[in-house]
Structures are given as structure tokens and as C-alpha cells.
Structure 1
Amino acid sequence: MIDIKIDNLFVVQNQIERLQQGVENRYLLMRVLSGSMHTAVRMNFRQSGRPKWLGLKYRNGKPLIDTGALRGSISSMADNDTALVGTNMEYAAIHNFGGWAGRNKKVFIPQREFMMLTGDDKQGLMEDVQQYFQSLMK
């Protein structure tokens, strides 16, 4: 018969408890994720799209940037189960998805997707998750 003795049983039990608490209480993780997503959306505005948005047809300036209202309306929220980024501007969807707008839907607005994550952004979120769990193991 082989006996295995764990000399640091208290340390192992403590680590397991920290990990369990970190899995059950995910608010800090969700707050980090919502912050990273918020940064990514702000980067979309800073770089005029990733990939670049279609330019303006009838005037000079940068699309979605002129007044800064839409950019300034981007907010984030987190709770134990959710990480969100969004805006409450009623015209945000038509700019993000594109489509026909205006009186009698006579104006076509091209898609300028600002509520999106690039592949690098998504990889960054995975790294955030990994760092979170690594921090629980310290």
C-alpha cells in the first residue's frame, strides 16, 4: 500500500476555498471584462472604425465623431453574472448596423459598426479571464 502525505494541507484547502469563492463571486471579473470591452469600443471611435468606417458623403468631418455625443454615451455595467457595454442613444443602432432612415426611409446610412470587438479584443478578454483565475491561485 502507498501512502501519500500532504504536508501543506491547510495551504491546499485555503487555495481551493479561494478558487471556489472566485468562481461564485465573479463581480470583479465581470467589471474587468466590461472595462476591457468599453476600452475596445472607445478605440473604435478613436480609430474611426476597425476596420475603417466609410467616409462622409455630403460633408467634411469624421463619421460618428462630430459632436461626441454618441461616443460620450457609451457606458459599461457589471454584476456577478454579466459584463455589458452599450449606449442609450436612440440613433445608435442605425449607425451601428446601417439601413434606411429619415422621413419615409429615404436616407441610407452605411454601417459603421462601433459596438464590436476585434479578434485581438476577444483574445484580450480571454487573457483577462486567465489573469483573474491566476490571481486566485496566488
Structure 2
Amino acid sequence: MTDTIKITFDDAAAQATFERLMRFGRDARPMFLELSKHLTESTQRRFKTSTDPDDVPWVDLKRGKRKPLVDSGTLRNQIYPRHGADFAEVVATAKYARFHQEGTEPFVILPKKGKALAFPGRDGGTVFSKKVNPPGLPKRAFIGLSNDDKQAIERIAKAYLDPD
């Protein structure tokens, strides 16, 4: 089982449009498929701009000049659309996605086996420690609804409601 990030979109106008669609007995799956694809593409574009859904730049890395969350591409490549009869979702399956989305407080790492942690040192040797105190991760939200996304949801829903 993987951790999931769930963000609920609560917009009265869009909700009213969805409810009208359901009342008319139309199959909403194609609409939710289109919505999930749009939202996934929008989410993946944020990795190019290094910004959150509100266009706020992600906190820079403390060391180096690399861009946060894009070094290996793993997180970006593990974002998928999901949809059903009454929902559209963007799913991030990387185990560490939630930590970047929400940020973390400082924490302590203790050895699971043995008396010490061991990891490579800067000079090629091995460093041993009874515990490590990482400072935590700053929040770098990538899933969420931008104003453009909200307008697209409205536009897509209305197109399915009034196809002419």
C-alpha cells in the first residue's frame, strides 16, 4: 500500500455543473477522463516551472544549483490520472511524494539493527553515528488546483453539458 495525497476540489459552480450532468443521466466518465488527464498534465508542468499550484516558486535546494524535485524525474514520472463515474484524480505513487507535497518537521533517524548508522563519508570512508537529525523538508507542493485548472474544469464540464 502506498501513501496517497488527496486534495478535494470544492467549487460551488463546478459542483452545480457536475450535478446537472448527473441529473440528465449522461455518462460522466468521458468528462472525468478528460479532467484527470488535464490535471495530470498541469501537475507535471509544475516540475518544469518549479512552482506550486499558486505559481509560488519552490524553495531552492540548500546545496548545488540543481532544481528541486526534478533531478532523477522519478517523482514526476510517477504521477498518473485516475477517473470513474463521479471523480477525477491525480495520483502520485512515489513513496516520498507526500513529504515533498506537505513538507516535514525536523526528525531523528535511529539505527534499526545494531548500535549505529553507517553511511559513506566525503573522503570515501565510512561514517558511523548513533543517530542523525535531518532538518526536515520544506513544502514543495506540486498537486493542487491552479486558477487555470479551475477554469479548465468549468470549461470541460460545460462542454460535456452543452456539446453543441
**Taking structure 1 as the reference length, what is the TM-score of the superposition?**
0.77
Task: Give the length in aligned residue pairs.
Answer: 118
Which amino acid in the other structure matches residue 37 of structure 2? G
Which amino acid in the other structure matches residue 85 of structure 1? V
- In 2: Cα distance, 1:38 partner to 1:98 partner: 21
Moved over 3 A (4+): 19-24
Return the match for 1:33 from 32, 35, 52: 35
Q: Does residue 153 of structure 2 align to residue 121 of structure 1?
A: no
Q: Does residue 88 of structure 2 align to residue 78 of structure 1?
A: no
Provide the identity percentage.
27
Moved more, 60-69 or 93-102: 93-102
Match of 1:103 in 2: 109
Shift of 1:125: 0.9
Match of 1:62 in 2: 67
2:36–2:90 Cα contact (<8 Å) kept: yes
Q: What is the 5 A alignment of 1:44-55?
A: 44-49=46-51, 50-55=55-60
For structure 2, the residue ranges without an aligned partner over 5 or more in a row are: 1-20, 111-132
Larger-gyration structure (1/2): 1
For structure 1, the residue ranges without an aligned partner over 5 or more in a row are: 1-18
1:89-124 CA-to-partner distances (Å, cap 9, x unmatched) read 110001011113562663221000001121121111
**Taking structure 2 as the reference length, what is the TM-score of the superposition?**
0.65
- In 2: Cα distance, 1:26 partner to 1:67 partner: 36
